[in-house]
Chains A and B, each alone.
Chain A
Amino acid sequence: MQLIAEDLIVERGGRLVIDGLSFAVSAGEAMVLAGANGAGKTTLLRTLAGYIRPSAGSVRCEGGDVELTVAEQAHVIGHANAVKSSLTVFENAAFWSEFLGSANETGGHIESALRNFGLDDLAEFPAAYLSAGQRRRLGLARLLLAKRPLWLLDEPTVSLDVASTERLVSAVNEHTRAGGLAIVATHLPLALERARTLELVSLRMAA
Protein backbone atom coordinates (compact mmCIF):
# COMPACT_ATOMS: atom_id res chain seq x y z
CA MET A 1 0.00 0.00 0.00
CA GLN A 2 1.15 3.51 -0.73
CA LEU A 3 -0.08 6.92 0.36
CA ILE A 4 0.45 9.50 -2.35
CA ALA A 5 0.05 13.24 -2.05
CA GLU A 6 0.27 15.17 -5.29
CA ASP A 7 0.79 18.92 -5.71
CA LEU A 8 -1.04 19.71 -2.49
CA ILE A 9 -1.98 23.33 -2.01
CA VAL A 10 -3.70 24.15 1.27
CA GLU A 11 -4.90 27.52 2.49
CA ARG A 12 -5.92 28.31 6.05
CA GLY A 13 -7.63 31.57 6.85
CA GLY A 14 -6.51 33.16 3.59
CA ARG A 15 -2.89 32.18 4.24
CA LEU A 16 -1.09 29.72 2.02
CA VAL A 17 0.21 27.01 4.36
CA ILE A 18 1.23 24.25 1.98
CA ASP A 19 2.29 25.13 -1.54
CA GLY A 20 2.68 22.38 -4.10
CA LEU A 21 3.80 19.55 -1.85
CA SER A 22 4.17 16.07 -3.33
CA PHE A 23 5.36 12.91 -1.61
CA ALA A 24 4.69 9.21 -1.39
CA VAL A 25 4.96 6.94 1.63
CA SER A 26 5.08 3.21 0.99
CA ALA A 27 4.12 0.26 3.14
CA GLY A 28 6.67 -0.32 5.88
CA GLU A 29 7.86 3.27 5.91
CA ALA A 30 7.57 6.00 8.48
CA MET A 31 7.74 9.69 7.69
CA VAL A 32 8.56 12.31 10.27
CA LEU A 33 7.11 15.77 9.73
CA ALA A 34 9.44 18.38 11.13
CA GLY A 35 9.27 22.12 11.07
CA ALA A 36 8.81 25.15 13.26
CA ASN A 37 5.52 25.97 15.00
CA GLY A 38 3.07 27.10 12.38
CA ALA A 39 4.92 25.42 9.53
CA GLY A 40 1.80 23.40 8.66
CA LYS A 41 2.38 19.99 10.26
CA THR A 42 -1.10 19.74 11.72
CA THR A 43 -2.63 21.23 8.59
CA LEU A 44 -0.88 18.62 6.45
CA LEU A 45 -1.98 15.74 8.70
CA ARG A 46 -5.57 16.98 8.76
CA THR A 47 -5.49 17.31 4.98
CA LEU A 48 -4.20 13.74 4.64
CA ALA A 49 -6.97 12.57 6.99
CA GLY A 50 -9.53 14.29 4.79
CA TYR A 51 -10.80 16.87 7.29
CA ILE A 52 -9.41 19.79 5.30
CA ARG A 53 -10.10 19.94 1.60
CA PRO A 54 -6.99 21.07 -0.28
CA SER A 55 -7.37 24.02 -2.68
CA ALA A 56 -5.60 21.92 -5.29
CA GLY A 57 -3.90 18.56 -5.55
CA SER A 58 -4.97 15.20 -4.21
CA VAL A 59 -4.35 12.61 -1.52
CA ARG A 60 -4.93 8.97 -2.35
CA CYS A 61 -4.08 5.47 -1.25
CA GLU A 62 -2.92 2.92 -3.76
CA GLY A 63 -3.00 -0.79 -3.13
CA GLY A 64 -5.29 -0.59 -0.13
CA ASP A 65 -8.95 -1.50 0.08
CA VAL A 66 -10.45 0.31 -2.90
CA GLU A 67 -13.82 0.68 -1.20
CA LEU A 68 -12.43 2.71 1.68
CA THR A 69 -11.47 6.37 1.77
CA VAL A 70 -8.07 7.41 3.09
CA ALA A 71 -9.72 8.49 6.36
CA GLU A 72 -11.35 5.08 6.84
CA GLN A 73 -7.95 3.38 6.58
CA ALA A 74 -6.30 5.82 8.96
CA HIS A 75 -5.90 6.24 12.68
CA VAL A 76 -5.71 9.94 13.49
CA ILE A 77 -4.18 11.00 16.78
CA GLY A 78 -4.71 14.73 17.14
CA HIS A 79 -4.05 17.20 19.94
CA ALA A 80 -7.15 16.01 21.82
CA ASN A 81 -7.39 12.47 23.10
CA ALA A 82 -11.06 11.65 22.45
CA VAL A 83 -11.36 10.29 25.98
CA LYS A 84 -14.67 10.54 27.85
CA SER A 85 -14.23 11.44 31.51
CA SER A 86 -17.36 9.74 32.78
CA LEU A 87 -16.48 6.37 31.27
CA THR A 88 -13.89 4.02 32.70
CA VAL A 89 -10.62 3.40 30.89
CA PHE A 90 -11.90 0.03 29.68
CA GLU A 91 -15.24 1.47 28.52
CA ASN A 92 -13.44 4.16 26.54
CA ALA A 93 -11.25 1.55 24.87
CA ALA A 94 -14.14 -0.84 24.27
CA PHE A 95 -16.18 1.87 22.58
CA TRP A 96 -13.40 2.79 20.15
CA SER A 97 -12.67 -0.84 19.46
CA GLU A 98 -16.31 -1.46 18.58
CA PHE A 99 -16.75 1.79 16.65
CA LEU A 100 -13.53 1.73 14.62
CA GLY A 101 -12.88 -1.97 14.33
CA SER A 102 -14.35 -4.67 12.21
CA ALA A 103 -16.58 -7.29 13.77
CA ASN A 104 -14.02 -10.09 13.62
CA GLU A 105 -11.65 -8.81 16.30
CA THR A 106 -10.59 -11.37 18.87
CA GLY A 107 -11.65 -10.99 22.48
CA GLY A 108 -8.46 -10.08 24.31
CA HIS A 109 -7.30 -7.27 22.07
CA ILE A 110 -8.64 -4.49 24.32
CA GLU A 111 -6.69 -5.81 27.30
CA SER A 112 -3.54 -6.24 25.23
CA ALA A 113 -3.84 -2.71 23.79
CA LEU A 114 -4.21 -1.28 27.30
CA ARG A 115 -1.31 -3.43 28.55
CA ASN A 116 0.84 -2.15 25.72
CA PHE A 117 0.46 1.39 26.98
CA GLY A 118 0.67 0.44 30.65
CA LEU A 119 -2.99 1.04 31.41
CA ASP A 120 -4.06 -2.50 32.33
CA ASP A 121 -4.02 -1.74 36.07
CA LEU A 122 -6.28 1.25 35.50
CA ALA A 123 -8.90 -0.52 33.37
CA GLU A 124 -11.77 -0.08 35.84
CA PHE A 125 -10.69 3.45 36.80
CA PRO A 126 -12.87 6.41 35.68
CA ALA A 127 -11.01 8.34 33.00
CA ALA A 128 -11.80 11.61 34.81
CA TYR A 129 -9.05 10.82 37.34
CA LEU A 130 -6.31 10.06 34.82
CA SER A 131 -3.28 12.31 34.58
CA ALA A 132 -2.53 14.12 31.31
CA GLY A 133 0.04 11.49 30.34
CA GLN A 134 -2.32 8.61 31.15
CA ARG A 135 -5.09 10.20 29.10
CA ARG A 136 -2.62 10.53 26.24
CA ARG A 137 -1.73 6.86 26.52
CA LEU A 138 -5.42 5.96 26.46
CA GLY A 139 -5.76 8.06 23.31
CA LEU A 140 -2.79 6.25 21.79
CA ALA A 141 -4.19 2.84 22.75
CA ARG A 142 -6.75 3.43 19.98
CA LEU A 143 -3.95 2.66 17.50
CA LEU A 144 -3.93 -0.94 18.68
CA LEU A 145 -7.67 -1.35 19.20
CA ALA A 146 -8.52 -1.52 15.53
CA LYS A 147 -6.22 -2.59 12.74
CA ARG A 148 -5.68 0.19 10.23
CA PRO A 149 -2.76 0.49 7.81
CA LEU A 150 -2.16 4.24 8.03
CA TRP A 151 -1.23 6.02 11.26
CA LEU A 152 -1.34 9.83 11.29
CA LEU A 153 0.15 11.03 14.57
CA ASP A 154 0.20 14.70 15.49
CA GLU A 155 2.74 15.32 18.26
CA PRO A 156 1.95 11.97 19.88
CA THR A 157 4.59 12.37 22.58
CA VAL A 158 2.98 15.38 24.27
CA SER A 159 2.87 14.84 28.07
CA LEU A 160 4.37 11.33 27.78
CA ASP A 161 7.24 10.28 30.06
CA VAL A 162 10.38 8.65 28.67
CA ALA A 163 9.18 5.07 29.17
CA SER A 164 5.83 5.76 27.49
CA THR A 165 7.54 7.50 24.59
CA GLU A 166 9.65 4.36 24.10
CA ARG A 167 6.50 2.25 24.16
CA LEU A 168 5.00 4.48 21.48
CA VAL A 169 8.12 4.31 19.33
CA SER A 170 8.21 0.53 19.52
CA ALA A 171 4.50 0.38 18.67
CA VAL A 172 5.12 2.51 15.57
CA ASN A 173 8.15 0.38 14.62
CA GLU A 174 6.15 -2.82 14.99
CA HIS A 175 3.41 -1.30 12.87
CA THR A 176 5.75 -0.35 10.01
CA ARG A 177 7.58 -3.68 10.28
CA ALA A 178 4.21 -5.38 9.73
CA GLY A 179 3.73 -3.37 6.54
CA GLY A 180 1.93 -0.34 7.95
CA LEU A 181 2.53 3.31 7.20
CA ALA A 182 3.09 6.03 9.76
CA ILE A 183 3.33 9.78 9.43
CA VAL A 184 4.43 11.45 12.63
CA ALA A 185 4.63 15.15 13.32
CA THR A 186 7.02 15.68 16.18
CA HIS A 187 9.74 17.93 17.60
CA LEU A 188 11.54 15.09 19.38
CA PRO A 189 14.19 12.91 17.76
CA LEU A 190 12.28 9.61 17.91
CA ALA A 191 14.09 6.33 17.17
CA LEU A 192 11.79 5.35 14.31
CA GLU A 193 13.00 2.67 11.94
CA ARG A 194 12.89 3.09 8.17
CA ALA A 195 11.98 6.72 8.69
CA ARG A 196 12.68 9.73 6.57
CA THR A 197 12.05 13.31 7.43
CA LEU A 198 9.96 15.85 5.59
CA GLU A 199 10.94 19.34 6.64
CA LEU A 200 8.10 21.83 6.34
CA VAL A 201 8.93 25.51 6.09
CA SER A 202 6.69 28.41 6.99
CA LEU A 203 5.40 30.26 3.97
CA ARG A 204 4.91 33.97 4.08
CA MET A 205 1.49 35.59 3.74
CA ALA A 206 -0.08 34.72 0.41
CA ALA A 207 -0.41 37.67 -1.89
Chain B
Amino acid sequence: MNSFWALVRRDLRLAVREGGAIGTALGFFLIVVSLMPLGLGPDLNLLARIAAGILWIALLLAALLSLNRIFEADYEDGTLDVLATGHLPLELVATAKSLAHWLTTGIPLALLAPVLGILLNLDLASYPILVGTTFVGTPAVSFLGAIGAALTVKARRGGLLLALVVLPLYVPTLIFGISAVSAAAGPAGMGAAFLILAAISLAAVVLGPIAAAAALRIQLQ
Protein backbone atom coordinates (compact mmCIF):
# COMPACT_ATOMS: atom_id res chain seq x y z
CA MET B 1 0.00 0.00 0.00
CA ASN B 2 3.09 2.19 0.28
CA SER B 3 3.13 2.88 -3.43
CA PHE B 4 -0.62 3.62 -3.44
CA TRP B 5 -0.25 6.44 -0.94
CA ALA B 6 2.97 7.61 -2.57
CA LEU B 7 1.00 8.09 -5.79
CA VAL B 8 -1.90 9.86 -4.03
CA ARG B 9 0.54 12.18 -2.22
CA ARG B 10 2.39 12.97 -5.44
CA ASP B 11 -0.85 13.79 -7.27
CA LEU B 12 -2.01 16.05 -4.43
CA ARG B 13 1.34 17.81 -4.44
CA LEU B 14 1.18 18.28 -8.22
CA ALA B 15 -2.37 19.62 -7.99
CA VAL B 16 -1.32 22.17 -5.37
CA ARG B 17 1.82 23.23 -7.26
CA GLU B 18 0.16 23.45 -10.67
CA GLY B 19 -3.09 24.80 -9.29
CA GLY B 20 -4.70 25.64 -12.61
CA ALA B 21 -7.16 22.76 -12.80
CA ILE B 22 -8.83 23.47 -9.47
CA GLY B 23 -9.06 27.16 -10.29
CA THR B 24 -10.57 26.50 -13.72
CA ALA B 25 -13.19 24.12 -12.36
CA LEU B 26 -14.17 26.42 -9.49
CA GLY B 27 -14.22 29.48 -11.75
CA PHE B 28 -16.37 27.73 -14.34
CA PHE B 29 -18.79 26.55 -11.63
CA LEU B 30 -19.08 30.11 -10.27
CA ILE B 31 -19.66 31.66 -13.69
CA VAL B 32 -22.26 29.15 -14.91
CA VAL B 33 -24.27 29.46 -11.71
CA SER B 34 -24.11 33.25 -11.65
CA LEU B 35 -25.24 33.45 -15.30
CA MET B 36 -28.42 31.54 -14.51
CA PRO B 37 -30.30 34.32 -12.63
CA LEU B 38 -29.32 36.73 -15.41
CA GLY B 39 -30.83 34.46 -18.01
CA LEU B 40 -33.92 33.44 -16.10
CA GLY B 41 -34.88 36.77 -14.64
CA PRO B 42 -35.30 37.87 -11.02
CA ASP B 43 -38.14 35.49 -10.11
CA LEU B 44 -36.87 34.27 -6.73
CA ASN B 45 -39.46 31.50 -6.40
CA LEU B 46 -38.51 30.05 -9.76
CA LEU B 47 -34.80 30.19 -8.88
CA ALA B 48 -35.36 28.52 -5.53
CA ARG B 49 -37.30 25.72 -7.21
CA ILE B 50 -34.62 24.92 -9.78
CA ALA B 51 -31.57 25.78 -7.64
CA ALA B 52 -30.62 22.20 -6.81
CA GLY B 53 -30.81 21.18 -10.46
CA ILE B 54 -28.69 24.08 -11.65
CA LEU B 55 -26.08 23.52 -8.96
CA TRP B 56 -25.77 19.84 -9.76
CA ILE B 57 -25.60 20.32 -13.54
CA ALA B 58 -23.04 23.11 -13.22
CA LEU B 59 -21.00 20.98 -10.80
CA LEU B 60 -20.91 18.08 -13.26
CA LEU B 61 -19.87 20.34 -16.14
CA ALA B 62 -17.17 21.97 -14.01
CA ALA B 63 -15.83 18.58 -12.96
CA LEU B 64 -15.85 17.49 -16.60
CA LEU B 65 -13.38 20.27 -17.42
CA SER B 66 -10.77 18.81 -15.09
CA LEU B 67 -11.23 15.11 -15.90
CA ASN B 68 -8.76 14.94 -18.79
CA ARG B 69 -6.00 15.77 -16.33
CA ILE B 70 -6.41 12.48 -14.44
CA PHE B 71 -4.28 10.52 -16.90
CA GLU B 72 -3.27 12.85 -19.73
CA ALA B 73 -0.22 14.51 -18.17
CA ASP B 74 1.10 11.14 -16.99
CA TYR B 75 0.59 9.66 -20.43
CA GLU B 76 2.41 12.50 -22.17
CA ASP B 77 5.55 12.50 -20.04
CA GLY B 78 5.90 8.71 -19.96
CA THR B 79 4.93 8.37 -16.31
CA LEU B 80 2.04 6.07 -17.15
CA ASP B 81 4.42 3.56 -18.77
CA VAL B 82 6.47 3.40 -15.60
CA LEU B 83 3.41 3.28 -13.33
CA ALA B 84 2.36 0.18 -15.28
CA THR B 85 5.58 -1.62 -14.31
CA GLY B 86 5.02 -1.06 -10.58
CA HIS B 87 3.99 -3.75 -8.14
CA LEU B 88 0.71 -1.85 -7.75
CA PRO B 89 -1.96 -3.26 -10.11
CA LEU B 90 -3.16 -0.78 -12.72
CA GLU B 91 -6.61 -0.90 -11.11
CA LEU B 92 -5.17 0.55 -7.90
CA VAL B 93 -3.16 3.10 -9.89
CA ALA B 94 -6.48 4.25 -11.37
CA THR B 95 -8.04 4.23 -7.89
CA ALA B 96 -5.23 6.37 -6.47
CA LYS B 97 -5.47 8.87 -9.29
CA SER B 98 -9.29 9.06 -9.08
CA LEU B 99 -9.06 9.52 -5.32
CA ALA B 100 -6.58 12.36 -5.79
CA HIS B 101 -8.93 13.92 -8.35
CA TRP B 102 -11.82 13.72 -5.90
CA LEU B 103 -9.75 15.29 -3.11
CA THR B 104 -8.50 18.13 -5.31
CA THR B 105 -11.59 18.82 -7.45
CA GLY B 106 -14.63 17.01 -6.05
CA ILE B 107 -14.30 18.34 -2.51
CA PRO B 108 -13.62 21.99 -3.51
CA LEU B 109 -16.65 21.89 -5.84
CA ALA B 110 -18.80 20.37 -3.09
CA LEU B 111 -17.64 23.10 -0.70
CA LEU B 112 -18.42 25.84 -3.22
CA ALA B 113 -21.93 24.53 -4.03
CA PRO B 114 -23.66 25.83 -0.86
CA VAL B 115 -22.01 29.25 -1.31
CA LEU B 116 -23.40 29.44 -4.83
CA GLY B 117 -26.78 28.34 -3.48
CA ILE B 118 -27.14 31.88 -2.10
CA LEU B 119 -27.09 33.26 -5.65
CA LEU B 120 -30.03 31.02 -6.53
CA ASN B 121 -32.11 31.72 -3.43
CA LEU B 122 -31.84 28.10 -2.37
CA ASP B 123 -34.24 27.27 0.48
CA LEU B 124 -32.39 27.59 3.79
CA ALA B 125 -33.53 24.17 5.00
CA SER B 126 -31.96 22.56 1.91
CA TYR B 127 -28.37 23.61 2.64
CA PRO B 128 -27.34 20.68 4.85
CA ILE B 129 -28.88 18.25 2.37
CA LEU B 130 -27.20 19.94 -0.58
CA VAL B 131 -23.82 19.69 1.15
CA GLY B 132 -24.54 16.06 2.02
CA THR B 133 -25.50 15.09 -1.52
CA THR B 134 -22.56 16.88 -3.15
CA PHE B 135 -20.10 15.22 -0.79
CA VAL B 136 -21.66 11.79 -1.25
CA GLY B 137 -22.19 12.21 -5.00
CA THR B 138 -18.83 13.65 -6.11
CA PRO B 139 -16.82 10.40 -5.66
CA ALA B 140 -18.99 8.98 -8.46
CA VAL B 141 -18.07 12.02 -10.56
CA SER B 142 -14.33 11.37 -10.17
CA PHE B 143 -14.34 7.57 -10.38
CA LEU B 144 -16.74 7.35 -13.35
CA GLY B 145 -14.90 10.24 -14.97
CA ALA B 146 -11.67 8.25 -14.79
CA ILE B 147 -13.17 5.75 -17.24
CA GLY B 148 -13.69 8.48 -19.83
CA ALA B 149 -10.29 10.00 -19.07
CA ALA B 150 -8.60 6.63 -19.62
CA LEU B 151 -10.50 6.00 -22.86
CA THR B 152 -9.58 9.37 -24.34
CA VAL B 153 -6.02 9.65 -23.01
CA LYS B 154 -4.50 9.30 -26.48
CA ALA B 155 -7.07 11.47 -28.27
CA ARG B 156 -5.63 14.89 -29.03
CA ARG B 157 -8.13 17.54 -27.93
CA GLY B 158 -10.41 14.77 -26.76
CA GLY B 159 -12.42 17.10 -24.53
CA LEU B 160 -15.68 16.80 -26.43
CA LEU B 161 -15.28 13.05 -26.82
CA LEU B 162 -14.68 12.83 -23.08
CA ALA B 163 -17.95 14.72 -22.45
CA LEU B 164 -19.85 12.36 -24.74
CA VAL B 165 -18.43 9.32 -22.97
CA VAL B 166 -18.80 10.54 -19.42
CA LEU B 167 -21.98 12.65 -19.25
CA PRO B 168 -24.34 9.69 -19.87
CA LEU B 169 -22.61 7.89 -16.99
CA TYR B 170 -23.42 10.85 -14.75
CA VAL B 171 -27.18 10.67 -15.36
CA PRO B 172 -27.99 8.46 -12.32
CA THR B 173 -25.83 10.64 -10.04
CA LEU B 174 -27.60 13.76 -11.33
CA ILE B 175 -31.11 12.32 -10.95
CA PHE B 176 -30.63 11.05 -7.42
CA GLY B 177 -28.54 14.03 -6.34
CA ILE B 178 -31.33 16.42 -7.33
CA SER B 179 -34.17 14.24 -6.08
CA ALA B 180 -32.51 13.87 -2.68
CA VAL B 181 -32.50 17.66 -2.32
CA SER B 182 -36.08 18.14 -3.55
CA ALA B 183 -37.43 15.13 -1.64
CA ALA B 184 -36.05 16.50 1.60
CA ALA B 185 -38.64 19.30 1.44
CA GLY B 186 -41.50 16.83 0.84
CA PRO B 187 -43.23 14.51 3.31
CA ALA B 188 -41.26 11.37 2.40
CA GLY B 189 -37.90 12.87 3.32
CA MET B 190 -34.70 12.37 1.40
CA GLY B 191 -33.86 8.89 2.72
CA ALA B 192 -34.27 6.67 -0.33
CA ALA B 193 -32.78 9.00 -2.94
CA PHE B 194 -29.82 9.82 -0.71
CA LEU B 195 -29.10 6.16 -0.08
CA ILE B 196 -29.27 5.34 -3.78
CA LEU B 197 -26.87 8.22 -4.47
CA ALA B 198 -24.48 6.74 -1.89
CA ALA B 199 -24.84 3.32 -3.52
CA ILE B 200 -24.02 4.78 -6.96
CA SER B 201 -20.87 6.37 -5.52
CA LEU B 202 -19.77 3.16 -3.83
CA ALA B 203 -20.34 1.16 -7.01
CA ALA B 204 -18.41 3.77 -9.01
CA VAL B 205 -15.46 3.60 -6.59
CA VAL B 206 -15.24 -0.15 -7.17
CA LEU B 207 -16.13 -0.47 -10.85
CA GLY B 208 -14.70 2.77 -12.25
CA PRO B 209 -11.01 1.89 -11.66
CA ILE B 210 -11.48 -1.62 -13.11
CA ALA B 211 -12.89 -0.18 -16.33
CA ALA B 212 -10.31 2.61 -16.38
CA ALA B 213 -7.43 0.14 -15.96
CA ALA B 214 -8.77 -2.01 -18.80
CA ALA B 215 -8.90 1.09 -21.01
CA LEU B 216 -5.36 2.12 -19.99
CA ARG B 217 -3.97 -1.33 -20.89
CA ILE B 218 -5.30 -0.85 -24.42
CA GLN B 219 -3.91 2.70 -24.58
CA LEU B 220 -0.42 1.55 -23.55
CA GLN B 221 -0.17 -0.85 -26.52
Task: Tell me the count of chain A residues lying within 8 A, CB to CB, of chain B.
Answer: 29
Q: Mark B4-46, 1 if CB is under 8 A from A, else 0.
A: 0011001001100110000000000000000000000000000
Q: How far apart are the CA atoms of A180 and B2 in the complex, in Å?
A: 25
Interface residues of A in 91-115 (CB under 8 A from B): 91, 95-96, 98-100, 103
Cβ–Cβ contact A99 & B6, under 8 A: yes
Q: Does any Cβ of B come within 8 Å of A75's Cβ?
A: yes
Interface residues of B in 193-221 (CB under 8 A from A): 220-221
Q: How far apart are the CA atoms of A123 and B78 in the complex, in Å?
A: 21
Query: How far, in Å, is A44 (CB) from chain B's closest CB?
Result: 14
Cβ–Cβ contact B81 & A98, under 8 A: no
Tell whether A80 pairs with B2 under 8 Å between CB atoms, given A53-B221, A86-B14. Answer: no
Cβ–Cβ contact A98 & B2, under 8 A: yes
**Interface of chain B, main secondary structure:** helix
Cβ–Cβ contact A79 & B18, under 8 A: no
Residues of A within 8 A of B13 (CB): 87, 91
Cβ–Cβ contact B78 & A86, under 8 A: no
Residue among A51, A86, A95 making CB contact with B17, cutoff 8 Å: A86
Cβ–Cβ contact A78 & B78, under 8 A: yes
- CB nearest to A86 among chain B residues: B17
Cβ–Cβ contact B220 & A51, under 8 A: yes
Q: Does any Cβ of A come within 8 Å of B57's Cβ?
A: no
Cβ–Cβ contact A76 & B86, under 8 A: no
Query: How far, in Å, is A148 (CB) from chain B's closest CB?
Result: 8
Cβ–Cβ contact A98 & B85, under 8 A: no
Q: Does any Cβ of B come within 8 Å of A71's Cβ?
A: yes
Residue among B7, B81, B220, B221 making CB contact with A82, cutoff 8 Å: B81
Q: Does any Cβ of A come within 8 Å of B84's Cβ?
A: yes
Residue among B10, B81, B221 making CB contact with A95, cutoff 8 Å: B10
9 smallest A-B Cβ distances: which pairs?
A80-B78, A98-B6, A86-B17, A82-B78, A82-B79, A99-B3, A51-B220, A82-B82, A71-B85
Listed by A's residue number, 14 A-B pairs whose Cβ atoms lie within 8 Å are: A49-B85, A51-B221, A72-B85, A76-B82, A76-B85, A81-B77, A82-B77, A83-B77, A84-B77, A86-B14, A87-B13, A96-B82, A100-B3, A139-B78
Q: Beyond A50-B84, A142-B82, list 12 extra A-B contacts (CB 8 Å).
A: A49-B81, A51-B221, A53-B221, A74-B85, A75-B85, A80-B77, A80-B78, A80-B81, A82-B77, A84-B14, A98-B3, A99-B6
